[in-house]
Structure 1
Amino acid sequence: MRRLWWVVAFVVAVLSTLTVVTAATVRATVLSPAFHESVLDEQDAYDRLYNEVLVDPDAAPVARELLAGLAVPEAQITSNIKLVLPPDTVRALTREQIRAVVGYLNGDRDALDLSVDVRPVLNNLNDLAHTYFGDLVAGLQDRSEPDFDRFTADLSAALRDVSEGRAPAGLPSLPLTPEQVEQATDAVLRVLPAGQRAALRPEIETALADGDVATVLAAVAPAAVSDRTRDAARQLQAVMDGGTWDLTDTLAASGNDLAALHRLRPYTAVGVGLVELLAAVLLVASLVALWFLGSTRPDRRLTRLGRPLVVGGVLVAVAALVVRGVTGGRVVDPPAAWPASLARLVDDVQHGAFAHITRTALLAALVPVVAGALLLGAGHYLRVRRPGSLPARRIVGFGAGAAAVAVAGMVVVPLVAGPAAPRVCQGQGSAALCDRPYDEVAYLTSHNAMSTTVDRFIGPLQDPGITAQLDDGVRALQIDTYRWERPDEITARLADSDFTSAQREFIADAVNRFNPPRDGLWLCHSVCRAGAIALVPTLREIGDWMRAHPTEVVTLIIQDAISGQDTEQAFAEAGLTDLIHTPDPDPAKPWPTLGEMTDSGRRLVVFAEQADGPADWYRNFYRYGMETPFAFRSPDAMTCAPHRGGDDHRLFLLNHFITIDGGSRLDAGTVNARRFLLDRAHRCERERGRPVTFVAVDYTTIGDAQGAVAALNAER
């Protein structure tokens, strides 16, 4: 009978060891949201989504179906995909699905509801329409027409083309009488909703009187395109149940009904932690029983404790390897209809997850094997020890301690060995950047970030608004602060601006026709009459974005035409003082790492081009940084010569844009190309002896400046 109880205790100890290790492994991996997030980052899933899946020709039919009816061609969707579907949005949506699945498996949710809120994506479609429109206007060429009737007809045709997402073949040009201006204005306004016509009439009349048809389109087409885009977005919302996409039904329709998760849930929902605890209690009880059953010799008691631990650990290791071999590291078989790039990504993620689970199980299994081996070794030592060696009481105490450590280790080791939630700095899974000092990281920088097509600036240098720029990977914003100029200040201000002569004439003529002066602080590009957005609300918008993205460090470089006191008050009114980092008073001192800045919460760095205080966080950029020249008229003219800030500072601003009476959208396609930008950055780093910090470009959505900046950081 005693022998039977010994066998029962031995079997219970083996099975308990197996259960504890398995439950701990499952809890630390399959039932941990951090595990799934880590696997996705390890496989570069988010980068591959943009660089491989969304540009895969096999994925085009899906894009066409979802985006049918938008006033934006498919090529523009592809080239500006990060504007429509920002990486941070994808990461947030993915985490929601991970939490839904893990909650279902843990029993926290009664049903597996995989639904995606696509409203953030739909809201970005309006910005994309403006981005596309900016490209259209930039490529238009003037041509003369002989009579007013032909002018009006061609103008109407151009408006129809733009509002339907097509580039006009050209623009009509003809001096108009005041009566003809009124007639042409009426024709132009007919393409707009009635409620928007009165506000735009003064601007259109002024532009037509000057023969400036491009400005007419710049004023009218965004509204027309946006209206069509909103209609298409509403259609998508109707299809997707008011902005929600039910992935559960979609997966079921594709043959992946998630049956494996449903079969697994009865075993996980009862509480893996509870099973683990009960198994640990049974393991301790069975080890105690083995201690007292059979011979009372210390060496045999230790041996009885060691054997089931070794056997249980070996069984776990064998089971883990068998499961990995049988499944082939796959749970879901991608349907044949999926694009090959998506199928590869899903397979790689599955194999990565299985590799982590197997590794965690093997490490956890090693704990009872090592502890059991130590117990067996201690028992053997007691049998063969010589007189005068360690007393048996100490060895028995050691054995009991080893058994206790084994039980605790089987619970703790999987939690330590399993991948933790990735620590991300500067978006898109850049965990390595967290340990990099602020001044050794490259940041995509938006030159004149406030001057956008979306906000209807004349001669815009960016297309999307500031929040969309941040969503799209911009991490430094060059902005200009102003008070609204008086009419008598316009001439002098225009003379120093980089507007074309036609734009200067248009702005001067428009001073008393529309856009009257306004009080307060503004973000303008040279002249507030050419476009302005309020400073404090924009700062508040930046703060809202940063609080929604707690791992991001953002820099503002302000061309300041207002006082330091006014700037300090504006930041206080916007509620940003708790986010602002204060640089060391000594510009030569090392900067903190990005991780240290995010941990402190002080991760908004603010520089001025002119001021230096009075706030201790508001420092003059050229005390801390240096730059290249910025008045380049062609890509070939770009140099790395020292400009403001000298040649010996830690921060390095690379001015990388072309200015020919304003920004050059066409040249942006050349200088923002990944290879061109990288070649210049490398050349300037060699010549100046410092890594490039801020890569300032016009039209951040053109070319691949973001890819070049990512490559610079990867090289370092």
Structure 2
Amino acid sequence: MDPVTSRRWLRVLAFAAAALCTMVVTMTATARDTVVSAAFYQSVLDEESAYDRLYDQVLVDPKVSAVTRDLLAGLPVPEAVLTSNVKLVLPPETVRELTHEQIDAVVGYLNGDRDSLVLNVDLRPVLTNINDLAQIYFGDLVASVQNRAEPDFDAFSTDLSAALRDVVAGRAPATLPALPLSEEQAATAAERVLSTLPEQDRAALRDDIEVALADGDIATVLATVAPVAVSERTTDATARLRTLAGGNGWNLEKTLEASGNDLTALHRARAYTALGLGIVEIVAAALLVAALVVLWLTTSAAPGRRPMLLGWALAAGGLLTALVAVLVRVVSGGRVISPPGSWPPSLTRLVDDLQRTAVDDMVAAALYTALVPLIAGALLAGFGWALQVRPSLRTAAPYARVVAVGTCAVTLAGVVLVPLVASPSAARRCQGSVRLCDRPYDEVAYLTSHNAMSTTVDRFIGPLQDPAITTQLDDGVRALQLDTYRWEKPDEITARLTESDFSADQRTLIAGAVNKVNPPREGLWLCHAVCRAGAIQLVPELREIGDWMRDHPTDVLTLIVQDAITAEDTAKAFTQAGLSDLVYTPDPDPAEPWPTLGDMIDSGRRLVVFAEQADGPEAWYRNFYRYGMETPFAFRSPDEMSCVPHRGGTGKRLFLLNHFITADGGSRLDAGEVNTREYVLDRVDRCERERGRPVNFIAIDYTTIGDAGAAVDALNARRG
């Protein structure tokens, strides 16, 4: 073969190699920022609102109900209680964390960091939550039953046994017995109650039951005993969940294989991705440079000829990338797995939408990246063509090499960097939402726990919440109403009880405990009106709140303190709890705009603290009613709920909606009505029209009842 022919063939091979290497660099750069990027998959889930759809569509799909009923059959908690509190059994944060674990497993497998693909969901948190909900349920079952005095201990014991049988059977007893017990009688009654439990569980519960009996707190006795008494039923039902999943862990890969989806495409992809996309990208880029150099050296030196040929090679590579990306989309149809017909329609739609969005986003990223060599190549070819047809431009011919080198360098850099911009990544989240980072603090709605410290789990008399404070935060509460006190002296009890919202029976119970089982204690406390009705230490609880906030760095939290201690004592408690670096200082002028949640999170100052009485002296500790207004709070029935101005007057930037019923204490039954999503939204709409400001704090009793959290989510979504 003569030298001219050899040169021509070498030029053809260099052109083809340049085009192919351009495609490889483009595709590997795209794959690096999509296929093997955990942030990409997380962004797809957010783009399709997957977590919201799980609760709002999949778990309420009629096609799921048959399976759900079979799995839940035998649990001591009624199906309606589980399904209405599904976010307690399966919290959104737990779902997100478990999903991210599976994403990390897939990405690790594709990257070659893991030898095998194991998609395993740990069911233990869910099973634990079911047991916890059982405790709350039994507490609810007996909470509203009024005490009835018994004439003697034998009658008391008989009625206590009958009440326990009712609760274990899932029925609320008509009444609960009441009788002041001596220590000996309390011990005897405790033995009778414990005899109904499995022997291995008695020792752990003995002290709690004896103390509750000595306090006359029969409701707590039953709520403590009932879940253990029905543990065999709970064990049988949760065993069905374990059987379905194959143990405490649910292997999703085996489930998919059983449905005919063996993830073959994923395993095939790993054969390439596990080699290291970065290495392939570097080698392809080096070969591209070499091919372009050969193409330049084997091409005629005629004006414009070399840059034009290099431009066409780059453009051909970009065009080839675009064709491959479109072909992948057409052939795959936007699917990697095919949901079987046995899946409920809502789950099939969700999986199909996620697959389609993922494939479309990958194709879009590839097309955007392909534009870089296509446009750069077209410009370089155009430059060469101009040198050929315009003799007046040939004075620029000596610079053709500089232009060609510069264009190729920019093309390589663009191909590497464009996927970072073109491919979606996990969106920034504030307050758990991608929508709220740019929203001012005073335009956001917050689920607010009224008397957050008064909980069933902390053994308060007449509790207004069930879970502990940090559990409330886990469940979506983002504002806490807390009451700070010093332990009352005996002569202060009568006055405090008279002013409290306790029922007559509760007041009698508390008064009887004075200096007997609840002597005064030093220090600062979180109490509900009277510390003898229940108390938790202020500083340790604040420290736990701070730990929670540090574990959740993208959340803003508000405390509204009903302060019966001095502002100086409050400031000292916050310092001792280590919260000084978290507290946010509002503008001294309440009329000034608030920053966005994103700005507060970026600053690290994301704990807003208001007082009902104090105003300073610390700059971060401001009086709520200078900045905010509220509705009345002493509603005795849902029909009484109004939007009329109360403390704080009108026209303030912050708006507190007191949304709970107080009728001789909190009302669980009314909470079931007023805490529904529709009821909350209707009242918010009415009050916003009447008061001319968006509602910020929706304060409710019993945050685990109803779905006020969904109402808050809906408000924040539509305000965007």
TM-score by length of structure 1 reads 0.92
Cα offset for 1:519? 2.5
1:84/1:121 contact within 8 Å kept: yes
What's the counterpart of residue 459 of structure 1? 462
Cα offset for 1:488? 2.1
Cα offset for 1:6? 0.5
Change in 2 beyond 3 A, CA 1:232/1:259: farther
- Is residue 364 from structure 1 mapped to residue 369 from structure 2 by the alignment? yes
Cα offset for 1:576? 1.9
Supply the RMSD in Å over aligned alpha carbons: 2.8
What's the counterpart of residue 500 of structure 1? 503
SS at match of 2:635: coil
- In the alignment, which of 710, 715, 718 is matched to residue 712 of structure 1? 715
Cα offset for 1:365? 0.9
> What is the distance in 2 between the residues matched to 1:58 and 1:422?
32
Counterpart AA for 1:77 = L
What's the counterpart of residue 224 of structure 1? 226
> What is the distance in 1 between the residues matched to 2:176 and 2:476?
39
- In the alignment, which of 167, 183, 205 is matched to residue 196 of structure 1? 205
What's the counterpart of residue 3 of structure 2? none
Q: What per-residue deviation string (whole Å, max 9, x for no partner) do you get for residues 627-656 of structure 1?
A: 111111222222222211221321111111
Uncovered stretches (5+) of structure 1, i.e. residues with no partner:
208-214
- In the alignment, which of 76, 100, 105 is matched to residue 100 of structure 1? 105
Q: What per-residue deviation string (whole Å, max 9, x for no partner) do you get for residues 86-136 of structure 1?
A: 111211121121111101111122222323334433443343123312331
Q: What per-residue deviation string (whole Å, max 9, x for no partner) do you get for residues 312-350 of structure 1?
A: 211111111111111110101223332222221111110
Cα offset for 1:557? 0.7
SS at match of 1:431: coil
Uncovered stretches (5+) of structure 2, i.e. residues with no partner:
1-5
The count of aligned residue pairs is 706
What's the counterpart of residue 36 of structure 1? 41
SS at match of 1:530: strand
What's the counterpart of residue 533 of structure 1? 536
Cα offset for 1:25? 0.9
Cα offset for 1:595? 0.7
Q: What per-residue deviation string (whole Å, max 9, x for no partner) do you get for residues 456-484 of structure 1?
A: 21111112221221111110011111122
- Is residue 168 from structure 1 mapped to residue 177 from structure 2 by the alignment? no
What are the within-5 Å matches in structure 2 for residues 461-610 of structure 1?
461-610=464-613
> What is the distance in 1 between the residues matched to 2:181 and 2:232?
36
- Is residue 450 from structure 1 mapped to residue 453 from structure 2 by the alignment? yes
Cα offset for 1:218? 2.9
Percent identity of the aligned residues?
63
Change in 2 beyond 3 A, CA 1:570/1:434: same
2:139/2:219 contact within 8 Å kept: no
> What is the distance in 1 between the residues matched to 2:340 and 2:154?
58
2:449/2:480 contact within 8 Å kept: yes
Cα offset for 1:517? 2.7
Counterpart AA for 1:460 = P
- Is residue 642 from structure 1 mapped to residue 645 from structure 2 by the alignment? yes
What are the within-5 Å matches in structure 2 for residues 625-704 of structure 1?
625-704=628-707
Change in 2 beyond 3 A, CA 1:298/1:158: farther
- In the alignment, which of 615, 618, 623 is matched to residue 620 of structure 1? 623
- In the alignment, which of 420, 423, 430 is matched to residue 415 of structure 1? 420
Change in 2 beyond 3 A, CA 1:547/1:182: closer
> What is the distance in 1 between the residues matched to 2:671 and 2:464?
10
TM-score by length of structure 2 reads 0.92
What are the within-5 Å matches in structure 2 for residues 84-95 of structure 1?
84-95=89-100
Cα offset for 1:493? 1.0
Counterpart AA for 1:167 = R
SS at match of 1:481: strand
Could you tell which deviates more after superposition, 542-551 or 187-196? 187-196
- Is residue 331 from structure 1 mapped to residue 333 from structure 2 by the alignment? no
> What is the distance in 1 between the residues matched to 2:642 and 2:394?
79
Q: What per-residue deviation string (whole Å, max 9, x for no partner) do you get for residues 558-595 of structure 1?
A: 11112222222222222222222222222222211111
2:486/2:564 contact within 8 Å kept: yes
Could you tell which deviates more after superposition, 694-703 or 222-231? 222-231
SS at match of 1:607: strand
Cα offset for 1:612? 2.0
Cα offset for 1:181? 8.3
Cα offset for 1:197? 2.9
SS at match of 1:361: helix
Change in 2 beyond 3 A, CA 1:258/1:537: farther
Cα offset for 1:413? 0.8
SS at match of 2:522: coil
> What is the distance in 2 between the residues matched to 1:502 and 1:409?
75
What are the within-5 Å matches in structure 2 for residues 55-66 of structure 1?
55-60=60-65, 62-63=67-68
1:148/1:174 contact within 8 Å kept: no
> What is the distance in 2 between the residues matched to 1:604 and 1:702?
26
SS at match of 2:531: strand
Q: What per-residue deviation string (whole Å, max 9, x for no partner) do you get for residues 223-248 of structure 1?
A: 43267569957976987898544434
- Is residue 272 from structure 1 mapped to residue 277 from structure 2 by the alignment? yes
- In the alignment, which of 265, 268, 283 is matched to residue 260 of structure 1? 265
> What is the distance in 2 between the residues matched to 1:226 and 1:437?
47
Cα offset for 1:372? 1.4
Q: What per-residue deviation string (whole Å, max 9, x for no partner) do you get for residues 341-376 of structure 1?
A: 222111111011011011101111111111111122
SS at match of 2:430: coil
Cα offset for 1:399? 3.8
What's the counterpart of residue 352 of structure 1? 357
1:476/1:554 contact within 8 Å kept: yes
Cα offset for 1:202? 4.9
Counterpart AA for 2:423 = G
Could you tell which deviates more after superposition, 146-155 or 335-344? 146-155
Change in 2 beyond 3 A, CA 1:140/1:377: same
Counterpart AA for 2:218 = V
2:142/2:223 contact within 8 Å kept: no
Cα offset for 1:21? 0.9
SS at match of 1:658: coil
Could you tell which deviates more after superposition, 323-332 or 537-546? 537-546
1:125/1:233 contact within 8 Å kept: no
What's the counterpart of residue 379 of structure 2? 374
- Is residue 132 from structure 1 mapped to residue 137 from structure 2 by the alignment? yes
What's the counterpart of residue 211 of structure 1? none
- Is residue 109 from structure 1 mapped to residue 118 from structure 2 by the alignment? no
Cα offset for 1:24? 0.8
> What is the distance in 2 between the residues matched to 1:414 and 1:177?
74
> What is the distance in 1 between the residues matched to 2:96 and 2:158?
48
Change in 2 beyond 3 A, CA 1:711/1:128: same
Cα offset for 1:163? 3.6
SS at match of 2:172: coil
1:453/1:462 contact within 8 Å kept: yes
What's the counterpart of residue 26 of structure 1? 31
SS at match of 1:559: strand
2:147/2:178 contact within 8 Å kept: no
Could you tell which deviates more after superposition, 51-60 or 470-479? 51-60
Change in 2 beyond 3 A, CA 1:431/1:18: same
> What is the distance in 2 between the residues matched to 1:372 and 1:8?
18
Q: What per-residue deviation string (whole Å, max 9, x for no partner) do you get for residues 200-230 of structure 1?
A: 33542553xxxxxxx4133332343267569
Change in 2 beyond 3 A, CA 1:147/1:607: closer
> What is the distance in 1 between the residues matched to 2:178 and 2:565?
42
Cα offset for 1:614? 3.0
Cα offset for 1:23? 0.4
Cα offset for 1:85? 1.8
